[in-house]
Structures are given as C-alpha cells and as structure tokens.
Chains A and B, each alone.
Chain A
Amino acid sequence: MCEQARDSLFLPELAEIIRVEELTATEKLFEIRFKNGRELGHLPGQFVEVSVFGIGEAPISISSSPTKDGSFELVVRRVGNVTGALHRLRKGSIIGIRGPFGNGFPLTELKGRDILFVAGGIGLVPLRSLINYVLDNRGSYGRVIILFGARTPSERLFVDELALWKDRRDVEFLETVDRAEPEWNWKGHTGVITTLFPEINVDQDKTYAVIVGPPVMYRFAILEAMGKGIPGERIIVSLERRMKCGVGKCGHCQIQNLYVCQDGPVFRYSEIKELKEAI
C-alpha cells in the first residue's frame, strides 16, 4: 500500500539548556543547544514541541532569530504541567525537542516592504524572532515600526532589547502598558495597544502589519490596521492552539479545515477572516 517511513514522528532529539534567564515573575528564557550540535534551522514564526520527559510535551514558539548560530531561545510562561516543569529546570538540564514545525512568517514577501509589528504581551516572544531577523538584515527592509503593549510594566519582556530598539534611529518604537503599578513610576504611555495606532502613519501601499498577541487583541488590532488602509492579505497573524503532535494528525489545533500546526501558525487575515472560531 502506502510508502513506508520507519522514523517515528514522536521521537524527540535530546537538547541541553545552556542558559536560563528570568524575564518576569512568570516568564523564563531558555537558551538551548542540541546535544549532537546540529542547528535547529528554523524560520521566524515556527515552533518546536518541547519535552520534559515524564511530564509531557508542549508546543513553544521559537523566540530567537535564525541569524543567531549554535543555539536557539524559547520563552516559556509558567501556566501548565509541562511549562511548570520547565521552569524548575536549570542550566545543564536535558530536554527533548521535536521540530521546527509550522510555516513561519513569509520572509521573501516581506523583503523591501515597510513592516508594522504589533506585539501584545507574550506575543512578543514569536515576533521577536522576526524582528531580530529583520534588524539583522536591516538593509533589505523598508520602515520598521514596532508597537508593543504589556499589561503592566512588570510584565514587559526583553526589557534590554526594547531599550535597544527604542534607541535605534532606523526603528520607530512605541510602547504602552494597560495600567501601571504605582511603585514602577511609569512615565510612558498608558492604555491598551490600540491607543498607539493614532500615533503612527503608514504607507498603505507598501506596509505589512504583523500582529501577534492574545486572542482578544486580534479583533481590535486588526481593525486598527485595516483602518490604516492595510488590506487583509498584508495583515499577518500567528495563532495559538492546543497541539499534541505538531504534524497534522492529532486534530487538536484544527480551525475548521485548517491545521494550525501545518497550515499555520502564521496566517494572513484574509485567509481566516471567514472562519468562525479563528479570531
């Protein structure tokens, strides 16, 4: 009958945690290297399945740019069994990795275009992979506009990188927090991420909006992007779903006929706007 493959789809490769950095009270960054030394070879926007053996496996987006050699970075929010167990691991701990999986952002298409990055909270984790890729190839792209929103100042991720982006003359960086705890003495913008949109102007003919954030953010941020004249084909989002296999079999990540693990997680708004449940 069918052509056979002997390789299991479910066998993770062993990898070592070579650095752990606490980003916030609930998010940690893990720098990871395969034990056999191979490169992950991912595209910005792809994800891996991370194993903590004995606990389970979870899909985690890759946060580092492929331009970074030798290792890759995952940022993990402590929310469930596997992520909780990951947070208890240290430098030198061995985990399992399958992947990279998914389609990734449309790199070729973005070349030469202006890019409006919109990141809400933990949405910055996958988006950072693309932002750093674009900044490492800065000459190949037009304007780079980054809008970032966190719930509170204490939940801002990658604060050093945010500061670097803010200082760069070839990056237009705006950020906001939904609300600021008094002890933070926050001097910046306050309000949800959509309140940053009036402060920017885009060339609607050459701008791509790349939006990643929690489900509730999409509806409003997409409306704002469309309000700037950016058509649905040039509004790119990355969707989160439950996943077990990562290879289009287990069924958990389906949005109607689409498998987020294979057809996504990156979608154009125009592809999914008619799909109930998607956004």
Chain B
Amino acid sequence: MELKVIAKESLLSFVNRLLEDREVVGVRKREDGKYIFDRLENSEELCLNYDVTLLPPKKYFLPQRETLIRFEDKEGELSVEAVVESSPRVIIGVHPYDMAAINLLDKVFSRDKKDANYLKKREDTLIIGTDVKNPSPYAFYESVGSDTREGFDLFFTEMGKSYVVETGSQKGEELLKYGDFKKATAREENEFKNIKKQRKGLSLERRLNFLSHDLPHLLGEKLEHPVWEEKSSRCLSCGSCIMVCPTCYCFDVQDEMDMSLTAGERFRQWDGCLLTDFARVATGENFRKDIKSRYQHRFYRKGKYIPEKFGMIGCVGCGRCASACLADIADPVEIYNALL
C-alpha cells in the first residue's frame, strides 16, 4: 500500500477524532518519568518518543484480571454464563518488539482451542505502531529478530516535522479518513528509506552472540551448564520478570463470591512459572520445587519450547525483565550468551 505522511501538528487532531468514537490507548509519561500504556483523555497526553513502557500492551488482550464466567443461584436454580468482555479500541505507539509479542500471543490463543476472551479483544483492537528512536539500555530486540512491521494496522515513523505512515491492514486503511494523511512525495519516500537505514541497528549494542534461530538447539545441549546454578541461586522467586514480560501468558483461575453469597464470578489473573507454587498439586507434590528448575523452565520456555511449538522465539528483546529484576539475574542476553 502507498506511503502516507502526516504532519506532527495534525497528529493531535487525528487522535482527537479517534477519541470521539472509541477508546484510545496511548503511551503516556508518568510524573516519575516512566512511560506507560494508558487510556488517553486527550491527544496531548500521547508520547510517541519513548524508550520502553513499564508494562507491555499485552494487558489490553490478557488483562491482569479478567472475568471468565458468572454464576448465580436463584432460589435453588443455578445458572452460569460465559463472559467475554471487549470493546472497540485503538492502541497508539506500540513498538515493534511488543507487536512481535502480540503476534506470538495470537498464535498461542488461536492454536487448537480458540480462546474467545483473548481473540475478541484482539479483533476489536487496532494497533498503530511507531519505531524506536531511543532504545532502552536493556533492549536487544533486533538481535532476536523482533524488529517487525507485521501485525500493525498502521505504522508511524518519525521523519523531521512529520510521520511517514505505512498501512498494514484494511482496518488500518479505514483509519486514515480520521486525519490529514497525504500521499508521500517521491522525495519523502527517498528520505524515508534513508531514515529506516539510519535507525537500523540502534539496539544492537546488546545482542546474542549467535543467531536466535540456533537458540533451541543450544539450550538442548546446555541443561547442565553452571550458569543456571550461578544465576538462579540469587533469584528471589518474586516474579517481577514475569509480570513485565510481553510474552508471558500463564494464568491462574479462581472463583469469587459477591456479598450476597448467591452469585459470583470466575476470573483469570496473571501467574508465572517462577512463583513457588506454580507446579504444586493439591496432594502437596511440587514438580518444580527448587528455584533452579523454575528459573531454567522460564528460559527454556522462551528459548526452546515456544520456538519449537510456535515457530518464533519467545523472547522479543524488550529488556523489561532485566530492568525489573531485583537481583539483577534476569537478563536473557547475559544468560544465553554465557551458554555459548
């Protein structure tokens, strides 16, 4: 599809027009200087020049807590209904590594048994991406091949006083009518090519010392490598790495009754394999009792089990885990490179 250009000052009115008929989520700078994805009240809150957000946009497809069913006992007659909550939404400012993670989650939740709770939200959401101009010091997304343009409905690349806009889907194309998008001139197209070249390799200061494609094989041979013991012995099992990870999708399911004690709901909430009880069964047996086995499981999942099952590496190189880890042992670059 043809390239468009929108002037920076026109972006605000584009966002304002979107805000008139749907929820708009964008990247906002908090008072403490951290960036977050949040519902925008007005277009001026939007910040497209950021390094990384605290949490990935995953929370709009797999919320921290999500109702799955509701049940009620009406005078002895029990009824139960499925709950699939979703509403139209646009997310603006998603970086390519976070899009890569969403592309993976799409596979996870649509493979075999289709998860309507995830897929309905995914279907109702349009994603407008933007490229990374200042990578987080922990990022290494290009080294794991997640500098993708796939999956975006629109993609904005900053170029001087405008954004160059690539259209990735029919739904994205339909959004163009909300703003003053102009066809790119031949000169702008050339300039865009140069900009893309310039911004290549920005995150490559940190990289795997091998092709990410070879990671599953490497892990297969390194189960007994000393790095596992060395790093995991300092792990606090706090789960910080899991809670900020864009590709972690494990969940727990629980019931909760309301005050009437005749009705309630079942919900799922984020859970993670590093937490102590994750693999404990009711009889008390814990199949990954020791921290080393849980720590290894997480890195094997990202680097071996997910690629083998879904055809793409389960780490997108956002660097959030490394920056969130209290014990400073979660950096995938350090661990995977130590194996070689």
A and B, one complex?
A: yes
Q: Is B183's CB within 8 Å of the partner chain A?
A: no
Per-residue 0/1 for B306-318: is the Cβ within 8 Å of any A Cβ (1 yes, 0 no)? 0011000000000
Q: Is B241's CB within 8 Å of the partner chain A?
A: no
Task: Please tell me if the beta carbons of A250 and B252 are within 8 angstroms of each other in the complex.
Answer: yes
Task: Please tell me if the beta carbons of B255 and A276 are within 8 angstroms of each other in the complex.
Answer: no
Task: Please tell me if the beta carbons of B281 and A8 are within 8 angstroms of each other in the complex.
Answer: no
The one of A2, A11, A14 that contacts B78, using a Cβ cutoff of 8 Å: A14
Interface residues of A in 238-255 (CB under 8 A from B): 240-242, 244-245, 247-252, 254-255
Per-residue 0/1 for A252-277: is the Cβ within 8 Å of any B Cβ (1 yes, 0 no)? 10111100001000000000000011
Query: Closest CB of chain B to A279's CB: distance in Å?
Result: 10
What residue of chain A has the Cβ atom nearest to residue B112's Cβ?
A248
Contact residues of A: prevailing secondary structure: loop
Query: Closest CB of chain A to B140's CB: distance in Å?
Result: 24
A: number of interface residues (CB 8 Å)? 46
Task: Please tell me if the beta carbons of B123 and A4 are within 8 angstroms of each other in the complex.
Answer: yes
Task: Please tell me if the beta carbons of A56 and B254 are within 8 angstroms of each other in the complex.
Answer: yes
Q: Collect the chain B residues with CB atoms within 8 Å of residue A3's CB.
A: 110, 114
Task: Please tell me if the beta carbons of A242 and B115 are within 8 angstroms of each other in the complex.
Answer: no
Q: Collect the chain B residues with CB atoms within 8 Å of residue A6's CB.
A: 84, 116, 120
Query: Closest CB of chain B to A60's CB: distance in Å?
Result: 10
Interface residues of A in 48-70 (CB under 8 A from B): 51, 53-58
Q: Is B175's CB within 8 Å of the partner chain A?
A: no
Query: Closest CB of chain B to A70's CB: distance in Å?
Result: 21
Q: How far is the CA of A161 from the CA of B238 in the complex (A)?
A: 49
Task: Please tell me if the beta carbons of A8 and B273 are within 8 angstroms of each other in the complex.
Answer: no
Task: Please tell me if the beta carbons of A215 and B285 are within 8 angstroms of each other in the complex.
Answer: yes
Interface residues of A (CB under 8 A from B): 1-12, 14, 51, 53-58, 77, 79-80, 83, 94, 96, 214-215, 240-242, 244-245, 247-252, 254-257, 262, 276-277
Interface residues of B (CB under 8 A from A): 68-69, 71, 73, 78, 80-84, 106, 108-117, 119-120, 122-123, 151, 223, 249-255, 257, 261, 264, 266, 268, 271, 273, 278-285, 287-288, 293, 297, 300-301, 304-305, 308-309
* Contacts A12-B69, A250-B252 supplied; 6 other A-B pairs, CB < 8 Å: A8-B117, A53-B80, A247-B113, A251-B249, A254-B305, A257-B309
The 8 closest A-B pairs by CB, nearest first: A251-B250, A8-B82, A5-B114, A80-B282, A2-B110, A11-B82, A247-B113, A10-B68
